[in-house]
C-alpha cells in the first residue's frame, strides 16, 4: 500500500504519517525531509538560496522518484506539493490519498505559535495580525488541489491517534 497524506501547513501530516506507519508496520517518508537530505540544505535554505521555483521543480522530481519506489509506505507531502505541476495526478495514481482538513481558525491557532512559524519559510516573516488573512487566502488558492484527494478527514479537535484510526478505517 502506498498512502499519501496531504494538507495545509501544520495539519499533522508527518505526525499522523509516523503513527500510521507504525500501526501498519511499513516505511514512513516525509517528502520535505527527503528533499533536505538529497539537496543537503533545509527547506528554508533552499527557498532562500535557490528560490521557490527551483524548490518546486525538485519537489516534483523527488515526488515522482518516491512514488515509483517499490514496496509499501506512507508519504507525507509538503503543504504546497499538491498545488504544483501535475503532482495531484501523480499522487492519485496510487492506492490512497488523504486530505487532512482543518478549519481556518484551527490552522491559525496552530501556526500563530512562534515555534511553528520559524521553520516555515512562507509564514516566518508574517506578523500574527496578518497571518489569518494570509492563511485564508492561501487555503482558498490551495483547496481545489487538496480537494482532489481520494479521501478527506476532518482533524479539528482530534488527537493524532484518533485521526490515524479514522484513516485506517477508510483505507483498510
Annotated binding site for substrate: 32, 56, 79, 142
Q: Report the distance separating Cα 132 and Cα 138, nearest Å.
A: 10
Q: Which residue has the cell 508496520?
A: 25
Q: Report the distance separating Cα 72 and Cα 90, nearest Å.
A: 16
Joined grid coordinates for residue 16: 499522523
- For residue 15, the tally of other CB atoms under 10 A from its CB is 16
List, as residue ranges, the binding site. Answer: 10-15, 32, 56, 79, 120, 142
Joined grid coordinates for residue 122: 512562507
List, as residue ranges, the binding site for Mg(2+). Answer: 14
List, as residue ranges, the binding site for ATP. Answer: 10-15, 120
Q: Report the distance separating Cα 73 and Cα 24, nearest Å.
A: 9
Own/partner long-range contacts of 62-70 (Cβ < 8 Å, ≥24 apart): 62/31, 62/34, 62/35, 62/38, 63/31, 63/87, 63/90, 63/91, 64/90, 66/29, 66/31, 66/34, 67/2, 67/91, 67/93, 67/94
DSSP three-state, residue 118: helix
Amino acid at each position: 500500500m502506498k498512502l499519501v497524506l496531504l494538507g495545509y501547513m501544520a495539519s499533522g501530516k508527518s505526525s499522523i504519517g509516523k503513527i500510521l506507519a507504525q500501526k501498519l508496520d511499513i516505511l514512513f517518508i516525509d517528502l520535505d525531509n527527503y528533499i533536505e537530505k538529497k539537496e543537503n540544505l533545509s527547506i528554508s535554505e533552499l527557498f532562500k538560496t535557490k528560490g521557490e521555483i527551483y524548490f518546486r521543480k525538485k519537489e516534483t522530481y523527488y515526488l515522482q522518484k518516491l512514488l515509483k519506489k517499490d514496496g509499501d509506505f506512507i508519504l507525507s507531502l509538503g503543504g504546497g506539493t499538491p498545488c504544483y505541476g501535475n503532482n495531484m495526478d501523480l499522487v492519485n495514481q496510487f492506492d490512497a490519498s488523504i486530505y487532512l482538513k482543518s478549519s481556518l481558525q484551527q490552522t491559525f491557532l496552530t501556526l500563530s505559535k512562534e515555534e511553528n512559524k520559524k521553520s516555515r519559510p512562507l509564514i516566518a516573516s508574517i506578523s500574527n495580525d496578518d497571518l489569518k488573512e494570509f492563511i485564508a487566502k492561501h487555503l482558498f488558492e490551495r483547496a481545489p488541489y487538496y480537494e482532489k484527494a481520494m479521501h478527506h478527514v476532518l482533524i479539528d479537535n482530534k488527537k493524532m491517534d484518533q485521526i490515524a484510526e479514522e484513516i485506517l478505517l477508510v483505507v483498510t
